[in-house]
Amino acid sequence: MLIIRPIRSSDFEALYQIAEESGHGFTSLPVNEDLLRKKIARVEASFQKQVDKPFDEGYLMVLEDTDTGEVVGTCGLEAAVGMEDAFYHYRLGTEVYYSEQIDVRNEVETLTLCHDYTGAAELCTLFLRSSYRKNNNGRMLSRSRFLFLAQHAQRFGETVIAEMRGESDENGNSPFYDWLQKHFLGIDFVEADYLSGLGQKAFMAEMMPKNAVYVCLLPEEAQKVIGEVHANTRPALNLLQAEGFRCRGYVDIFDGGPTVECNLSDIRSVRESRLLTVNIGDAPESDTNFIISNTQLANYRATSAALLLTEGCNEVTISPELAAGLLLEQGDEIRVLAL
C-alpha cells in the first residue's frame, strides 16, 4: 500500500536521496544535510503546534510504500510564505507612452520586484521517483494536499500559490537568468537557486535591480521564456489549472517561470471533497478510485483506494487493511475525493 504521512527524523536519508535525484530547479530541497535536518525538525514542530492563524509553519509529507518501507515521494505545503524570510517575485506590468505631438503610442511591458504573495499558502516539494510514476500515483500525491487544506483550512493563508519551474537546460542554465547574472548578480543560476533554497537571500535585496525592468530591453531568448514552464512541469501546471489556479502576472525572479494562485475555498478539490463516517468490514467491490485521508493532524494519513459510495449516504464501508493503513477506527470520519 502507498501511504502519505508526515515526514519524520528517521526519513532523513530518504529525503537526502530525493534532494539529489530532484536536480536543478527544485529549490525547496537543496542538497544540504544541515538544512534538510532543520527542515524535518521544523515540520515535526509544525504538526504538533497549536495554530490560531498561519505564520511560518511547514507541512512536508512523504509517500511510503508500506510493502517495502521505502520512501518514494514527497509533497509539501507552506502555511504562510514570507513571514520570516523575504519572498520575492517579479510582477508583470505595463507602462504606456503617448505623444500627441508626434502621434506615437507605445505599451512597454515591465518587471517589478515585489513581495505581493507574503502570507499566502504554498504548494511545494512535489516529487515522485520515476519507478512509481504510474497508476495515477503522481495525481494522488499532488491532489492529496487539497484534502489536507480542506480539513485544516485555518492553518493556511487564504490564497494558495504554486511556483512553476521555468525554462532551463539539462545543466541548469536559464535563458532568463543569463542577463541577470551578467548585469547584476554575477553568480550562476545553480548557485543562486541553491542559496535561495538555503534561505540565504540577502544577496537578492543587495544585488537585484531596484527599479522596474523593461522587458523589451532583455535579450530575445530571455523575453521568450517569461511565464513559460519547463517541459517536465507542464503536467503539474495542467493539473493545477484544472483545479482553478491561474497566473495573475507574477513570475520567478531567477527563471521567469509563472506562479499560479487560487483562493483556498475556490480550489475544485477542496470544494468537492466530502466527509464520510467509516464502517469497517467487508468492503463491496467498486471500480471507482478515491483519494482518502483521515482527519487527524500529527497522525495524518492518506492513500487511494476503490470505494463504493451510495448516493445520499454519509457512511462508507472500508476494509480492515485500509482502516489500519489510515489509522482509523469504527465510526471515525474520512475525507474523500474522486481520483
The catalytic residue positions are 230
186: left (phi over 0), alpha (psi -120 to 50) or beta: left
Can you tell me which residue has the cell 516529487? 127
CA distance 301 to 61: 9
Q: Whats the size of the chain, residue-wise?
A: 339
Three cell numbers, residue 122: 504554498
CA distance 136 to 145: 15
Backbone angles phi, psi at 292, to 5 degrees: -130, 135
| Residue 127 burial (CB count, 10 A) | 22
Can you tell me which residue has the cell 547584476? 184
Residue ranges in the chain assigned as alpha helix (H): 12-22, 33-48, 137-151, 175-180, 189-198, 202-207, 220-224, 234-242, 268-272, 320-325
Specify the amino acid at residue 160.
V
151: left (phi over 0), alpha (psi -120 to 50) or beta: alpha
CA distance 235 to 141: 13
